[in-house]
Amino acid sequence: MDFELSADQRAFADTARQFAQTALAPHAAEWDREAIFPREAIAQAGELGFCGLYAPENAGGLALPRLDATLVFEELAAVDPSTTAFITIHNMATWMLGTWATEAVRTTWGEALTSGQKLASYCLTEPGAGSDAASLKTRADRDGDHYVINGAKAFISGAGSTEVLVLMARTGAPDSGAKGISAFAVPADAPGISYGKKEEKMGWNSQPTRVISFDNVRIPADHLLGQEGEGFKIAMKGLDGGRINIATCSIGAAQGALTQAQQYMQVRKQFGKAIASFQALQFKLADMATELVAARQMVRLAASKLDAAAPDAATYCAMAKRFATDAGFMVCNEALQLHGGYGYIREYPLERLMRDARVHQILEGTNEIMRVIIARRMLEADAPDAIR
């Protein structure tokens, strides 16, 4: 068991850190304030391979381990969690398309997506199907050499600004549950697709979020990903990695906040001395650092389990997502507290990091659902020995 990063892994992290400082840091506050979707910066990330980190090579991706991808995402999120989170969602959708698409669809979209020239959205959640994703109602009915799609998706990141929708829709009977769901690659500008208003959000303002409606949208049958009925399995496989990604974004945000707090404590003076000299605040910083290191190691453990295709990888991914997103938000909140009133104003990045990190406890499966996943596994007879 080796906890040290390899030279290649450190190089990936260093490259990501440099990119974050030059391409994201100078603009992150403006993108948040003006709700700007930074297509150009994302394309620049694509030039470095960051838009296809673990997508297969035959789709133009780097096919890196998930562990290596977390190193990149953490460095980006330390500066701009919102933009980074979209890049992780794009990576997830691109991996799904690259892994399960037909050769024709992969040829059409693969390299365009992995390069960041085109972008993808992941479309699972519906107005009436959030945590209970298997109850989704959007339908895709076979009609000769096409599928006809009707329904709606909600809370879709990038909606209206992306070119491909990785869509989960019901092909089975209305009561067919998870087994009746299939996955599709849908051109985002297909006739019959319409987009709702851009949601005004607490955070994640550098990426648009909209409802997507489908009204008799026709797509070629070869846009099916995998086989009919495999969509829910594909969606959950995507979400295992997506949960690691979002957990990593929380780690990155927390690292950025911790760094800001540590530096601020050295220069801020009260009662004639730097606040770093007050033991109560030293203890707060110590707890923040401890929680952050523990969360980072849990995320890397889960990523390693997923890379190894371990039987309980999904459980570890749920654990990592639950723990890291809670811990990450706590660290951001405590860092803001250490800044006092300055942490609450936009001149400092703390309030933005905290707002962006808050939603991570909700998406890719709420942390309550993560507890359900973990508890179900832990109630099995072999769990105490298997999950350690």
Helix axes 350-358, 81-100, angle to 10 degrees: 40
Catalytic residue among 334, 364, 368, 380: 364
**3-class SS letters over the chain:** CCCCCCHHHHHHHHHHHHHHHHHHCCCHHHHHHHCCCCHHHHHHHHHCCCCCCCCCHHHCCCCCCHHHHHHHHHHHHCCCHHHHHHHHHHHHHHHHHHHHCCHHHHHHHHHHHHCCCCCEEEECCECCECCCHHHCCCEEEEECCEEEEEEEEEEEECCCCCCEEEEEEECCCCCCHHHHEEEEEEECCCCCEEECCCCCCCCCCCCCEEEEEEEEEEEEHHHEECCCCCHHHHHHHHHHHHHHHHHHHHHHHHHHHHHHHHHHHHHCEECCEEHHHCHHHHHHHHHHHHHHHHHHHHHHHHHHHHHCCCCCHHHHHHHHHHHHHHHHHHHHHHHHHHCHHHHHCCCCCHHHHHHHHHHHHCCCCCHHHHHHHHHHHHCCCCHHHHCC
Catalytic, 364? Answer yes
Residues labelled as active-site residues: 364
